[in-house]
Amino acid sequence: MTTQNVTIPALSGGSFSAYLAVPSTQPSAGIVLIQEILGVNQNMRQTADDYAKEGYLVLVPDLYWRLEPGVQLDSEIKEQWAKGFELLQAFDVDSGVEDLKASLAFLRQHPSSTGKVGSLGFCLGGKLAYFMATRSDADANVSYYGVDLDKNLAEATKIQKPLLLHMGENDEYVSPNAQASIQQELKDNPLVTIYHYEGVSHGFSRAGSSAYRQAAAELAHDRTLAFLKQHLGSGVIQGATA
């Protein structure tokens, strides 16, 4: 596996940086890995590396580039967590989705890509992964504890490719009523799979954080790998469960 920083032209003009992890097995299916409110931090880069070791070509775009390029925040430092929320409030979702579409195109055109590319996001990224399912032609999409999905269910009719949702039962940012609305609206859509994880909160898959819960995180990861293998294929998938 090799890693590098790359520059991607934005559809609206300008350009932004992204972290790219390239597996040793090629050609490979691609994943646009979508940041939390914390930017392209060490956790996101490590997650990219982990998926690259599973045989995927992984790109993590800097979606905050219009606000402050190169943001890297730590969820365990109170002031940095607060800054993440400030950036979230200023973040333009529509522009972010356009940047993700540019990232999708970049991966599809990459020399070591099979052309199959999906998205996978956490928190804010989980919300954006849902929008990639409704607004882009990504081949598959995975949302971990996506926020505000209940406020955007009108777009659910536009889902054209498989979508996997991971939701923590005690997510402090996605209320039980919100989760019930999401479940009710999407339960009959054959393209959507929803998993609920008992007793865990927002960020349960964020390794190294106080929210991390190993059993739930590993189960969700195994389910994600199986989902990606089914819908994207890959070079060499290790540790996937069917």
- Characterize 67-101 residue by residue with b for buried, 16 or more Cβ atoms within 10 angstroms of its Cβ, and e for exposed: eeeebebbbeeeebeebbeebbeebeeeebbbbbb
Tens digits of per-residue pLDDT, 27-57? 899 999 999 999 999 999 999 999 999 999 9
Helix/strand/coil (H, E, C) string of 125-178?
HHHHHHHHHHHCCCCCEEEECCCCHHHHHHHHHHCCCCEEEEEECCCCCCCHHH
Residues belonging to the chain: 242
Contact 186, 192 (CB under 8 A): yes
What does DSSP say about strands 141-144 and 57-61: parallel, antiparallel, or unpaired? Answer: unpaired
Query: Nearest CA to 41 among 6, 98, 10, 80?
Result: 80
Helix (H) or strand (E) holding 225: helix 214-231
Return all residues near 154 (Cβ < 8 A) that are at least 6 apart. none
Catalytic residue positions, numbered:
171, 202
Tens digits of per-residue pLDDT, 104-121? 999 999 999 999 999 999
Confidence of residue 25 (pLDDT cuts 50, 70, 90): confident
Proportion of the chain above pLDDT 70, given as a percent? 96
Tens digits of per-residue pLDDT, 156-212? 999 999 999 999 999 999 999 999 999 999 999 999 999 999 999 999 999 999 999
Proportion of the chain above pLDDT 90, given as a percent? 94
Query: Nearest CA to 211 among 220, 221, 201, 219?
Result: 201
What does DSSP say about strands 2-9 and 113-122: parallel, antiparallel, or unpaired? Answer: unpaired
Tens digits of per-residue pLDDT, 49-72? 999 999 999 999 999 999 999 999
CA distances in angstroms from 101 to 38, 75, 92, 137, 150, listed in the order given: 21, 27, 15, 9, 23
Domains plus CATH for the chain?
2-231 (3.40.50.1820)
∠ CA 15-13-37, rounded to 5°: 55
In whole angstroms, give the CA distance from residue 212 to residue 43: 12
In whole angstroms, give the CA distance from residue 208 to residue 194: 25
Average pLDDT of every residue of the chain: 95
- What is the per-residue pLDDT for 122? 98
In whole angstroms, give the CA distance from residue 49 to residue 16: 20
Tens digits of per-residue pLDDT, 91-100? 999 999 999 9
- What is the per-residue pLDDT for 234? 63
